Amino acid sequence: MRWASSAFALAAVLFSTHVSADPLQKSEDIVKFFTGQGNLGASRGICVGTEEECKSKNEKNAAPTKTGLDMMINFALDSAQLDQTARTELDEFAKALKDNRLSTFSFIVEGHTDASGSDRHNQDLSERRAQSVAAFLTANGVQATRLEAIGLGKSHPRVANPYDPVNRRVEMRIRTE
């Protein structure tokens, strides 16, 4: 009997750590990511040299700007349902969006699919995925006016293999317009 209760306790601990696993990104990290993305305009500087040399220096020093944050909100094949992992991640994102430092930002919620299915089906599915995430965030206190849910279908795969499940995702971007 003692062994059985120990096994049950161990199983409960293992199960609870899987279900309540820490989110991949904490709300503070999300806030820091997006507050560093504000468009401050073109930088100014002086370059001494020929036009070709200055252009070459600028190209070398230009770091690609990342405006989107992949929250690792992935979906099962042909599904727009949020699983427990997605809900945990989105809880953190909702906390971040309610932070005063992000209160002036609006976001685009981009839904994506892999290449399985027709173009029309993938477009509809990507829109449902984005709407599912936006609805979750709204239900958790984020103002709906700060979110725009759009679907991009299979047009922007994350990896080269268009059928890879990694492409079934939602990304969040700051609305820049």
Q: Using CA atoms, how far apart are residues 108 and 175, in angstroms rounded to an integer?
A: 6
What are the tens digits of pLDDT across the range 146-177?
Answer: 999 999 999 999 999 999 999 999 998 888 76
Output the pLDDT for position 47: 58
Q: Is the pLDDT assigned to residue 20 strictly greater than 50?
A: no
Phi, psi (rounded to 5 degrees) for 38: -55, 135
Torsion of CA 165, 166, 170, 171, to 10 degrees: -170
What are the tens digits of pLDDT across the range 70-113?
Answer: 666 889 999 999 999 899 989 999 999 999 999 889 999 999 99
Least confident interval from 27-36, 66-75, 80-89, 115-124: 66-75
38 against 25, higher pLDDT? 25
Output the pLDDT for position 136: 97
Asked whether 54 and 47 are in contact (CB, 8 A), the reply is yes
Tokens for 15, please give them. 């199960």
Of 165, 143, 145, nearest to 154 by C-alpha is 165
Q: Using CA atoms, how far apart are residues 55 and 33, in angstroms rounded to an integer?
A: 29
The H-or-E segment that residue 10 falls in is: helix 2-19
Output the pLDDT for position 46: 55
Asked whether 153 and 123 are in contact (CB, 8 A), the reply is yes
Predicted model pTM:
0.69
Output the pLDDT for position 43: 45
Output the pLDDT for position 1: 43
Of 136, 131, 129, nearest to 149 by C-alpha is 131
Average the pLDDT over 113-127 and give the result.
96
Output the pLDDT for position 125: 97
What are the tens digits of pLDDT across the range 41-65?
Answer: 444 455 555 666 656 655 555 444 4
Output the pLDDT for position 100: 93
Output the pLDDT for position 25: 73
Q: Please provide the distance, in angstroms rounded to a whole number, between the alpha carbons at the two ends of the chain.
A: 65
